[in-house]
Amino acid sequence: MGSGKTLRYRVEVEDGLELSAKDVAEQVERILADPRGWTADGKSAFQRVSGGATDFVVKVATPGTVDAVCGQYGLNTRGEVNCNVSKNVMVNLKRWELATPVYAEDVTAYRALIINHEVGHFLGHGHVGCPGKGRPAPAMMQQIKGMNGCVPNVWPYDEKGRLITGPSVP
């Protein structure tokens, strides 16, 4: 879905988890197809596949597995956060199921943030900060570290197709 370069992706759930891989894949597909998502830039399109060549893989895994995969690339996820390394969008099961305190009442929304944030990294987007008190938090903001005056938001673009961003941060 989308009008740009089609990126093929597969969704996986770590063996032994009590999640339906079909349900997770459908959720990821809905998130990536949302008009407020990365397809709004006109450069990105996504196609979920079950096999064959892929551009990236979204994998829901235990905190230990996420730590191991992300750690191979020098990232310390501390059993707490998600990451994007190489072609792997690693989703921490703990975050997928429990979200964060800000999103505790809307885990589904937080799942959209996880996917949009980590796929955003895959697309080359870096972290940004809050653009101002009371403004929507950018999807590329590390919201798990605090809202810094922003209001919760999980989408990269607003309803009018404008990128929600803030000042670049290291």
What is the domain count for the chain? 1
Task: Tell me, yes or no, whether 166 lies in a domain.
Answer: no
Whether this prediction's pTM lies above 0.85 is answered by yes
- The pLDDT confidence band at residue 1, using thresholds 50, 70 and 90, is low
Looking at the predicted structure, is the pLDDT value of residue 2 above 70? Answer: no
Taking the CA atoms of 107, 167, 59 and 50 in sequence, report the sign of the dihedral they define: positive
Dump pLDDT digits (tens) for 19-44: 999 999 999 999 999 999 999 999 99
Provide the CATH number for the domain around residue 71.
3.40.390.30
Dump pLDDT digits (tens) for 64-107: 999 999 999 999 999 999 999 999 999 999 999 999 999 999 99
Dump pLDDT digits (tens) for 119-148: 999 999 999 999 999 999 999 999 999 999
Task: Tell me, yes or no, whether 63 lies in a domain.
Answer: yes
Task: Tell me, yes or no, whether 162 lies in a domain.
Answer: no
Cα separations in angstroms, 127 against 23, 65, 79, 108, 130:
29, 24, 20, 22, 10
Percentage of residues of the chain with pLDDT beyond 70: 98
Residue 26: domain span: 5-123
Looking at the predicted structure, is the pLDDT value of residue 4 above 80? Answer: no
Residue 100's CB is within 10 A of a number of other CB atoms, namely 18
CA angle 117/128/107 to nearest 5° reads 35
Q: Are 144 and 81 in contact (CB under 8 A)?
A: yes
